[in-house]
Structure 1
Amino acid sequence: MKLDIEGRIALVTGADSGIGKETARCLLAEGVRVAISDQPGGTLQQSLADLRSFGEVVAFEADVTKLDSVRALYGQVRAALGEPDILVNAAGVTGATGDFVEVDDDGWLETLNINLMGAVRMAREAIPAMRAKKWGRIVLIASEDGVQPYIDELAYCASKAGIINLAKGLSKAYGCDNVLVNTVSPAFIATPMTDAMMEKRAAEKGVSFDAAVQSFLEEERPGMTLKRRGRPQEVAAMIAFLCSERASFVNGSNMRVDSGSVTTI
C-alpha cells in the first residue's frame, strides 16, 4: 500500500533505538525526509548511520523536558529540512516504579515531565505551521498502561493516560485544520526499555533473560495471546499508516498494538 507521503518532512523523537528508530525507517522507505532526535549521551549517531541508506535523514540531540531545547530542535529541523508535516513523539521512560506509597514527588514529576509534558512541548511547537499548511499528522506514543494500569508503575500509567487524553483533545481542537492527532498504544515491545526491565527481573529471579520474558508474559501479561514480545517494526507500521494519506479520516483514535493485552473493549 502506497502511503502517498513522499516528500513530506517528519520529526521523530526517541529515535536512537526501538520504536522511534523503526518508525523513522518506515517513513524513509516511503520517501519522507526525516529528522530524528533523542537526548544527549545516547546512540543517536549510530541510529543516523544505520538509517542513512534508506533516505534523507538528519539527527539532532534534544531534551524534551526543556522548552529551550525543544525550540532549538525545531529551529535545527527547519534549517535542515523545512517545517515538519509529521510529528511522532516516541520519547519516553518507564520512570518511577514500586509501591505507590514509596514513590516520592520527584519520581512522579520526572516521569510526567518526560512522558506527558515532553509530548505537550513537542506538539505545541509543531501545530501552528501544520495549521497554516492545512496538513499535519501527529502520533503520540501511549501504552496499554494508559487504559489498563499496573500497580507497580502508576506514574508511567498516569502519564500514558494523559497522552491519550491529550491527543483526543488536540484532535478535537485542530482536526478542522486537517491536523490529525492519534495515539498508538503498544504492549511489551522488544526495546531497550523492556530489555532493561527483563534483565532486572532475570537477576532478581536468578533465571535467564528468556525465562524472565516468559514468566513475565505468564504472570503479568496473560492477555497477550501471541505469547511473545512485540517487534518495533510491528508498532512502526501502524505509526506510519497514521502519518499517511491512507489515514485521512482517522483522528483522535488510540490504536492498540498489544497482542490482545488490554482485556476491555
Structure 2
Amino acid sequence: MDLGIKGKIAVITGGDSGMGRETAKILAQEGAKIALLDKTTDNLQETTREIDTMGEVISVQADLRNLEDVKAAKQKILDHYGAVHILVNCAGITGATDPFLELSDDDWYETIETDFMAAVRVCRAFIPCMQEAGWGRIVLIASEDALQPYTDEMPYCAAKAAVWNLAKNLSKAYAKDGVLVNSVSPAYVATPMTDEMMQKRAKEKGMSFDEAIDTFLKEKRPHLELQRRGKPEEVAAVISFLCSELSSFVVGANYRVDGGSVAGL
C-alpha cells in the first residue's frame, strides 16, 4: 500500500527499539527519510544500520528531558535534511510503581518529565517546520493507562492521560496549518520497557519470565481478550497509517491498539 510519504522527513523518538524501531522500518520502506532519536547509543547504531538497508536514515543522541538536547537535535536534523514533516514520539518509561502514599515528588516528576514534557518539547520544536511545509503528521504514544488507570502505575497513568489530552489540544490548534495530530494507545506490547517490568516481576515472585507474563495477564490484564503481549509491528502499522496521506481526514483521534484491554467504551 502506498502511504504517500515518499521523500517526507520523519523524526522518531525512542527510535532505537520497540514500536519506534518498527515504525521507522515501515516509513523507510515507504520512502520516507528517517531521523532516529534516543538518549542512549546501546541499540541506536544497530537500528540505524538496519534502517540504512531500507532507505535514508540518520541517528541523533538526545535526552528529551533536556531542552538544549532537543534544540541541538532539531538543528542537526535540519542541517542534514532541511525539513521535518512527520514526528512520532515513542520515548517513554514506566516510572515508579509504588503505592500512592509511598511515591515521592521526585517519582512523579521523573515520569512526567520523560513521558509528558518530552512530548511537549519535541512538538514545540518540530511543529514550526511542519507549518512552514504546509503538511505535517504528529503521532504521540499514549497508553491504555490513560483511559483505564492502574493503582500501581499512577505517575505513568497520569502522564499518559496528559499526552492524550495534549494530542487533542494540538490537533485543534494546528489542523488549520495542515498539521494533523493524533495519538495511539497501546497495551502491554513486547518492548524493552515491558521486558523490564516482567523481569522485575519474575525476580520478585520467584518465577520464570514466561510465567511472569502469563500471571500478569491473568491478574493484571483480565480484559486483554487476546491473552498475549502485543507485537511492536502491530502498533507500528497503526502509527504508520496516521503518518500517511491516507489519514488526511483523521484529526485528534486516539487509536487503541490494546488487544481489547480497555474494558469500557
Aligned to 1:53: 53
Amino acid at match of 1:13: T
- Deviation string 1:107-160 (CA, Å, 9 cap, x unpaired) is 100110111000000000111121122100000000000111100110000000
Aligned to 1:221: 221
1:98 and 1:262 map into 2 onto residues whose CA distance is: 22
How far did 1:42 drift?
3.1
Percent identical among aligned pairs is 54
- Counterpart secondary structure, 2:260: coil
Aligned to 1:99: 99
The residue correspondences of 1:159-238 to structure 2 (distance < 5 A) are 159-238=159-238
Amino acid at match of 1:219: E
Aligned to 1:38: 38
- Deviation string 1:67-97 (CA, Å, 9 cap, x unpaired) is 1100100001111122110000101100111
2:36 and 2:82 map into 1 onto residues whose CA distance is: 14
1:202 and 1:109 map into 2 onto residues whose CA distance is: 27
Amino acid at match of 1:9: I
1:8 and 1:237 map into 2 onto residues whose CA distance is: 17
How far did 1:40 drift?
2.9
Amino acid at match of 2:227: K
2:80 and 2:14 map into 1 onto residues whose CA distance is: 19
TM-score, normalised relative to structure 1: 0.98
- Counterpart secondary structure, 2:127: helix
Alignment RMSD (CA, Å): 0.8
- Counterpart secondary structure, 2:53: helix
1:189 and 1:106 map into 2 onto residues whose CA distance is: 27
2:42 and 2:108 map into 1 onto residues whose CA distance is: 23
Aligned to 2:132: 132
- Deviation string 1:146-187 (CA, Å, 9 cap, x unpaired) is 111100110000000000000000000011111000000000
TM-score, normalised relative to structure 2: 0.98
Amino acid at match of 1:61: Q
Amino acid at match of 1:39: K
- Counterpart secondary structure, 1:55: coil
2:39 and 2:74 map into 1 onto residues whose CA distance is: 14
2:115 and 2:42 map into 1 onto residues whose CA distance is: 18
1:165 and 1:241 map into 2 onto residues whose CA distance is: 21
How far did 1:51 drift?
1.7
Q: Does 1:90 align with 2:81?
A: no
Gaps of 5+ in 2: none
Amino acid at match of 1:189: V
Gaps of 5+ in 1: none
2:170 and 2:215 map into 1 onto residues whose CA distance is: 39
How far did 1:41 drift?
4.6
Segment of structure 1 superposing worse, 51-60 or 179-188? 51-60
Aligned to 2:150: 150
How far did 1:29 drift?
0.8
Aligned to 2:112: 112
1:203 and 1:122 map into 2 onto residues whose CA distance is: 36
- Counterpart secondary structure, 1:21: helix
- Deviation string 1:177-232 (CA, Å, 9 cap, x unpaired) is 11000000000000011011111111111111111101101110011111100000
1:121 and 1:62 map into 2 onto residues whose CA distance is: 12
